[in-house]
């Protein structure tokens, strides 16, 4: 394994990852779904209708409950489900949010592309 594989595995060891088939139920229960993909990927592949878009490079500032740049709904107890294209960068990002105290932060297993493979319809 590579070092990055080890890092992703370590990040995922602390996550209860959400399967794409379970995402709608999580949203119904109040989870905030966050798209951290670059705009170029969203333009080509589409967007998830219920997702909040937060650029990866500002994610920590937007969700740190103590940051003056936080989103209005950011808090330690918010259920945050991040996704990227395939579920690697989002695992690392979710682990980072957990280290900021958002213990319910996690990511979407397989990312946006796994969600689409289930027949979900993106806004393109």
What the block records as the tokens of 48 is 């998830």
Q: What is the pLDDT of residue 124?
A: 47
Nearest of 50, 54, 55 to residue 30 by alpha carbon: 50
Domain membership of residue 94 (yes or no) is yes
Domain membership of residue 60 (yes or no) is yes
Q: What is the pLDDT of residue 123?
A: 61
Q: What is the pLDDT of residue 40?
A: 97
Domain membership of residue 20 (yes or no) is yes
**1 vs 103, residue with greater confidence:** 103
Alpha helices in 67-110 (DSSP H): 89-99
Domains in the chain: how many in total? 1
Q: What is the pLDDT of residue 122?
A: 66
Report the CATH number that the domain containing residue 106 is assigned in CATH: 3.40.250.10
What the block records as the tokens of 46 is 């589409």
Q: Can you give the residue range of the structural domain that contains 66?
A: 3-117
Using CA atoms, how far apart are residues 80 and 34, in angstroms rounded to an integer?
A: 7
Domain membership of residue 55 (yes or no) is yes
Domain membership of residue 122 (yes or no) is no
Alpha helices in 17-121 (DSSP H): 23-28, 39-45, 59-63, 89-99, 111-117
pLDDT, tens digit, for every residue of 13-53? 999 999 999 999 999 999 999 999 999 999 999 999 989 99
Nearest of 20, 6, 13 to residue 94 by alpha carbon: 13
Q: What is the pLDDT of residue 70?
A: 97
Query: What is this structure's pTM?
Result: 0.94
């Amino acid at each position: 394994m590579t070092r990055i594989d080890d890092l992703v595995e370590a990040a995922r060891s602390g996550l209860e990852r959400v399967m794409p088939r379970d995402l709608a139920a999580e949203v119904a229960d109040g989870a905030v779904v966050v798209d951290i993909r670059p705009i170029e990927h969203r333009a080509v592949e589409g967007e998830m209708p219920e997702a909040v878009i937060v650029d990866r490079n500002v994610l920590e500032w937007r969700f740190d409950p103590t940051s003056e740049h936080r989103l209005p709904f950011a808090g330690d107890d918010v259920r945050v489900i991040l996704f990227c294209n395939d579920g690697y960068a989002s695992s690392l990002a979710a682990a980072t949010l957990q280290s900021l105290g958002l213990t319910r932060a996690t990511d979407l297993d397989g990312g946006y592309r796994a969600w689409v493979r289930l027949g979900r319809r993106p806004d393109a």
